[in-house]
């Protein structure tokens, strides 16, 4: 088993909590893992990405080789396209369609969606709306994680346990909200597949 | 033992705690910051009474660590690569004094300049100081090498450097711990003159350092961190340093490279090890993340031996960090390709946060400077350097910690009057104070903005040595009260702030303006903490 995942977003959007959930689940499943993060200057509202590599045998490089990522998981639609050269021809894009506009020349949303829909395998969803229905827009991350879950090659229960672990310190309500968001995201993808 | 999921930085910190370290000193700098942060947050470190202090700069950190080593205890000092330039005086001379308690210097390089102004290779500093250098290939090795490094430092009575890069520092993986060691007892050096570098003593100490070189080479041959794996296809021999080894292995899914491979993790390298590879292979390929330091040594200035490939002959790019694809290409291997980035994808550079006080401060400065024209603002290293970008485009320089004030003096001396310096509070106490003293002593016609967000912002909000002291420092340096102004960088004070700066720009001498407003990130964190405490009170 091998899953090479690019996590994409804008500094401050919290892609690292998605990474933490997948990483914790992988470790609990006894899988090998390497995760390269971006810290420092780009965290100030710039484009950020993280390379997350999970495998049943030891992982060599911290960086995913170009053209071989299995998944791009993005919390921002334009950012999902920035890493296309990393994605394998059989890889999937899972992205929210909620733009984070902090540059003056942000492209037309319709054109961005057209580009995403040109790719072979993709799941697009309005994560903000789904999260809002679950109780809070703050859980949009977990909606995206849920949407990616059927493609991660791990048992859904393993990821659920990880979500519980990661948010346990924030109280029961937060855990429940995030689990609800996770399930909503997951069923969105299951319906499409 | 259970594996911990740790960043490279965190693995180093945990290892130091486990290896009996008594103190860690550092100045924040990407990608090294998380080492100190981990120790400061560690309950174990607290229980063991480990000192963990943000120093004013890397030089004071290096010297403090050296003092702890003098007293016989294990000390670690951490910095980003350019921080080693600041600490260089202490660092180079610490090689001459030697160590007593184990002394580990961690320098975190940033090839590809993800968050830095250059990509200098700290291994050159290690070679310059003539001390052993450890370069871990992964996070587990980083953990193991800290234990080994402290021991080596005590065995050889020498500071030991650990050189890491961004990719190792900020990548997370499972790390297994070793058994914890007790800390050293207080123990003075056996020779109480060892640390007195008077010329007569320094000459002796330096000769001793020279004679230790052979032992350093032998140590790197015996430690297991430099490992030759033989293989049948000797048309090519490969030397892979640190992380480059992983990029090499990534190209062979069965991890079976058909050529002999020498993995390097410790310097100085035993020449016999290089020789055995060189003699048995037709040509060599050297993979190094950073500068081509081994490559240059092996091929020599004349380059008249066997073919040596790497960054110098174009087999690998001359700059930037390596990755699996670059290394594969040097081996003639093809790689899969994804689709191109669509043309509509726009750059998204980092920017000042919404609600950041620096933004208001620079809007004021821009307007106050309108009558003088552009090109006269010398700045420094920190979040406020982002004011170089659109839409502010306020500053004209960013070179090294503290260079804003001193460059402004030089430019003013050349006739660029008024010249303006913009420096953060933490950078000011790091390396700006001496520059301001120069300015005051020479009555330079400069206006200095000390942008006080009460934290070290760019690296994530660490304690600033300047906190609560900025005006007092300026007064103490001899600046008169009437030319020190604290302003509140808020929209509602925009006009009055412009007036204050305008007046001081017209003054023919040194003025200091202190726009003071807490960093929006640290403020937000505090407010969230407060809300959480309140919630707890209610539920209890």
Contacts of A12 (CB under 8 A, 6+ apart): A43, A44, A45, B353
The whole-number mean pLDDT for each consecutive block of 10 residues of chain A, a chain of 193 residues, reads 96 87 92 89 82 96 97 98 96 97 94 96 97 94 96 94 92 94 96 84
Q: What span, in angstroms and rounded, lies between the C-alpha atoms of B316 and B352?
A: 36
Task: Give which of A9, A39, A90, A91 to mutate to test B binding, by max B Cβ within 10 Å.
Answer: A39
Strand partners, A122: A93
From A165's Cα to the closest Cα of chain B, the distance in A is 14
CATH of B357-523, one of 3.40.50.1820, 3.40.50.1400, 3.40.50.970, 3.30.1130.10: 3.40.50.970
Count of Cβ atoms closer than 10 Å to residue B333 Cβ: 12
Strands of the sheet containing A32-36, edge to edge, are: A121-125, A87-96, A69-74, A2-10, A47-55, A32-36, B171-176, B3-7
CB atoms A45 and B170 under 8 Å: no
Separation CA B209–CA B435 (nearest Å): 35
Q: Which domain holds residue A69?
A: 2-192
**Domain locations in chain B as residue ranges:** 3-187+196-221, 227-330, 357-523
Of all residues in chain A, the one with the smallest CA distance to B352 is A44
How many alpha carbons lie under 13 Å from residue B398 in its C-beta half-sphere? Answer: 19
Residue A173 C-alpha, separation from nearest chain B C-alpha, in angstroms: 13
Q: Using alpha carbons only, what angle is made at residue B257 by residues B254 and B258, rounded to the nearest 5 degrees?
A: 120
Tell me if A145 sits within 8 A of A15, measured CB to CB: no
> B338: distance to nearest CA of chain A, Å?
4
CA distances from A30 to A71, B3, B222, B436 (A): 21, 11, 33, 57
What CATH number is attached to the domain comprising A60?
Answer: 3.40.920.10
A104 burial via Cβ count (<10 Å: 0-12, 13-18, 19+): exposed
The answer to whether domain B3-187+196-221 has CATH 3.40.50.970 is yes
User: What is the pLDDT tens value at each position of chain B, 540 positions in all?
Assistant: 578 889 999 999 999 999 999 999 999 999 999 999 999 999 999 999 999 999 999 999 999 999 999 999 999 999 999 999 999 999 999 999 999 999 999 999 999 999 999 999 999 999 999 999 999 999 999 999 999 999 999 999 999 999 999 999 999 999 999 999 999 999 999 999 999 999 999 999 999 999 999 999 999 999 999 999 999 999 999 999 999 999 999 999 999 999 999 999 999 999 999 999 999 999 999 999 999 999 999 999 999 999 999 999 999 999 999 999 999 999 999 989 999 999 999 999 888 999 999 999 999 999 999 999 999 999 999 999 999 998 999 999 999 999 999 999 999 999 999 999 999 999 999 999 999 999 999 999 999 999 999 999 999 899 999 999 999 999 999 999 999 999 999 999 999 999 999 999 999 999 999 999 999 999 998 998 888 778 767 665
Partner-chain contact B249 A61, CB within 8 Å = yes
- Given this model, what pLDDT does residue A42 score? 66
The C-alpha angle with vertex A54 and arms to A61 and A179, in degrees rounded to 5, equals 140
- Cross-strand pairs, B52: B24
**Residues of chain A with C-beta less than 8 angstroms from the C-beta of B171:** 34-37, 62
Write out the two tokens for B82. Answer: 């350019």
A120 shares contact with chain B (CB less than 8 Å): no
| Cβ neighbours of B338 in A, within 8 Å | 66-67, 69, 84-89, 91
CB contact under 8 A, B114 and A38: yes
pLDDT at A38: 82
From the list B246, B328, B350, the residue facing A45 with the nearest CB is B350
Nearest CA in chain A to B459: A40
Which residue in A has a C-alpha nearest to residue B3's C-alpha?
Answer: A27
Compute the Cα dihedral for A128, A134, A136, A142 and give only its sign: negative
Helix or strand (DSSP H, E) at B87 = helix B81-97
Q: How many Cβ pairs closer than 8 A exist between chain A and B?
A: 158
Interchain CB contact of A32 with B (< 8 Å): yes
The DSSP 8-state label assigned to residue B253 in this structure reads T
Residue numbers of B between 165 and 184 with CB closer than 8 Å to A: 167-168, 170-174
Which residues pair with residue A33 across a beta bridge? A54
Look up the pTM and report it.
Answer: 0.96
Q: How far, in Å, CA of A62 to CA of B249, rounded?
A: 11
What is the spatial distance between Cα B488 and Cα B57, in angstroms, rounded to a whole number?
A: 27
Give the residue on A whose Cα is nearest the Cα of B172: A35
Domain B227-330 has CATH 2.30.130.30: no
Residue A124's DSSP bridge partners are A95
ipTM over 0.90: yes
Q: What residues of chain B lie within 8 A of the CB of A27, using their CB?
A: 3, 5, 174
Determine whether the interchain pair B346/A78 forms a contact, defined as Cβ–Cβ distance below 8 Å: yes
What pLDDT shows up at residue B1? 59
Of A10, A63, A111, the CB nearest to B324: A63
Nearest CA in chain B to A60: B246
List beta partners, residue B24. B52, B76
* Selected residues 85-114 of chain A with any CB under 8 Å from a CB in chain B: 85-89, 91, 102-103, 105-108, 111-112
Chain B partners within 8 Å of A103 (Cβ): 346-348
| A41 → closest Cβ in B168, B342, B458 | B458
The minimal CB distance from B350 to the residues A46, A79, A111 is found for A46
Count of the separate structural domains present in chain A: 1
Residues contacting B114, CB < 8 A, separation 6+: A38, A40, A41, A42, B30, B31, B166
Closest-CA distance, B183 to chain A, in angstroms, reads 32
Q: How far apart are CA B308 and CA B283, in angstroms?
A: 6
**Min distance B145 CA to chain A CA atoms (Å):** 19
Please give the full DSSP string across B119-173, using - where no structure is assigned.
Answer: ---HHHHHHHHT--EE--SSHHHHHHHHHHHHHHHHHHTS-EEEEEEHHHHTEEE
- B30 contacts in A (CB within 8 Å)? 39-41
Spatial distance between the Cα atoms of A121 and A189, rounded to a whole number of angstroms: 12
Place of tokens 């502010």: B392
Q: Which among A41, A88, A108 has CB closest to B115?
A: A41
């Amino acid at each position: 088993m091998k899953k090479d995942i690019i996590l994409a977003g804008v500094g401050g959007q919290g892609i690292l909590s998605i990474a933490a959930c997948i990483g914790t689940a992988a470790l609990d499943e006894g899988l090998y893992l390497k995760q390269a993060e971006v810290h420092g200057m780009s965290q100030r509202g710039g484009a950020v990405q993280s390379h997350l590599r999970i495998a049943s045998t030891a992982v060599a490089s911290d960086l995913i080789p170009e053209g071989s990522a299995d998944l791009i998981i993005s919390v921002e639609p334009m950012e999902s396209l920035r890493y296309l050269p990393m994605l394998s021809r059989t890889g999937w894009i899972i992205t929210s369609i909620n733009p984070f506009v902090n540059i003056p020349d942000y492209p037309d949303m319709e054109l961005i969606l057209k580009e995403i829909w040109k790719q072979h395998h993709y799941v697009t969803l309005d994560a903000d709306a789904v999260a809002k229905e679950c109780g809070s827009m703050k859980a949009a991350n977990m909606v995206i994680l849920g949407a990616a879950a059927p493609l991660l090659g791990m048992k859904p229960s393993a990821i659920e346990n990880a979500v519980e672990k990661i948010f346990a310190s924030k109280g029961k309500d937060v855990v429940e909200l995030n689990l609800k968001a996770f399930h909503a995201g997951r069923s969105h993808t299951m319906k499409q597949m | 033992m259970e594996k911990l999921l740790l960043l490279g930085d965190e693995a180093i910190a945990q290892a130091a705690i486990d290896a009996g370290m008594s103190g860690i000193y550092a100045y924040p700098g990407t990608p090294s910051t998380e080492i100190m942060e981990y120790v400061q947050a560690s309950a174990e470190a607290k229980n063991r009474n480990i000192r963990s202090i943000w120093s004013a700069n890397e030089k004071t950190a290096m010297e403090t660590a050296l003092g702890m080593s003098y007293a016989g205890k294990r000390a670690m000092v951490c910095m980003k690569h350019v921080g080693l330039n600041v600490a260089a005086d202490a660092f180079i001379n610490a090689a001459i004094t030697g160590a007593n308690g184990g002394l580990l210097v961690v320098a975190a390089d940033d090839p590809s300049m993800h968050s830095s102004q250059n990509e200098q290779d700290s291994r050159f500093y290690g070679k310059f100081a003539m001390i052993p250098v450890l370069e871990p290939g992964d996070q587990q090795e980083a953990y193991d090498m800290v234990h080994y490094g402290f021991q080596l430092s005590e065995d050889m009575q020498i500071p030991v450097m650990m050189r890491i890069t961004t990719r190792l520092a900020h990548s997370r993986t499972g790390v297994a711990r070793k058994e914890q060691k007790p800390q050293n007892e207080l123990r003075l050096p056996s020779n109480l003159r060892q640390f007195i570098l008077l010329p007569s003593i320094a000459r002796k100490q330096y000769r001793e350092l020279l004679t230790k070189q052979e032992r350093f080479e032998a140590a790197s041959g015996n430690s297991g961190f430099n490992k030759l794996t033989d293989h049948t296809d000797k048309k090519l021999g490969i030397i892979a340093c640190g992380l480059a080894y992983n990029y090499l292995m990534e190209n062979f899914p069965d991890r079976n490279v058909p050529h002999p491979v020498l993995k390097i993790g410790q310097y100085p390298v035993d020449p016999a090890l290089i020789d055995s590879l060189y003699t048995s292979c037709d040509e060599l390929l050297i993979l190094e993340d950073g500068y081509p330091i081994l490559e240059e040594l092996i091929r020599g200035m004349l380059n008249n031996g066997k073919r040596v490939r790497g960054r110098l002959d174009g087999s690998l790019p001359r700059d930037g960090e390596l990755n699996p694809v670059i290394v594969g290409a040097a081996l003639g291997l093809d790689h899969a390709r994804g689709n191109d980035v669509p043309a509509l994808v726009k750059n998204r550079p980092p920017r000042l946060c919404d609600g950041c006080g620096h933004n208001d401060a620079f809007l004021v400065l821009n307007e106050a400077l309108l009558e003088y024209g552009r090109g006269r603002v010398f700045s420094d290293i920190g979040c406020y350097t982002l004011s170089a970008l659109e839409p502010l485009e306020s500053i004209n320089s960013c070179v090294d910690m503290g260079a804003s004030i001193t460059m402004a003096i030089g430019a003013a001396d050349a006739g660029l009057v008024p010249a303006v310096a913009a420096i953060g509070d933490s950078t000011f106490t790091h390396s700006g104070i001496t520059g301001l003293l120069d300015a005051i002593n020479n009555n330079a016609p400069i206006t200095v903005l000390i942008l006080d967000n009460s934290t070290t912002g760019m690296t994530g909000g660490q304690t600033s040595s300047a906190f609560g002291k900025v005006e007092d420092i300026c007064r103490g340096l001899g600046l008169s009260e009437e030319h020190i102004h604290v302003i509140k960088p808020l929209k509602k004070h925009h006009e009055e702030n412009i007036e204050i700066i305008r007046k001081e720009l017209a003054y023919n001498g040194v003025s200091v303006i202190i726009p003071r407003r807490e960093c929006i990130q640290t403020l937000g964190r505090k407010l969230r903490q407060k809300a959480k405490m309140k919630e707890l009170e209610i539920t209890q």
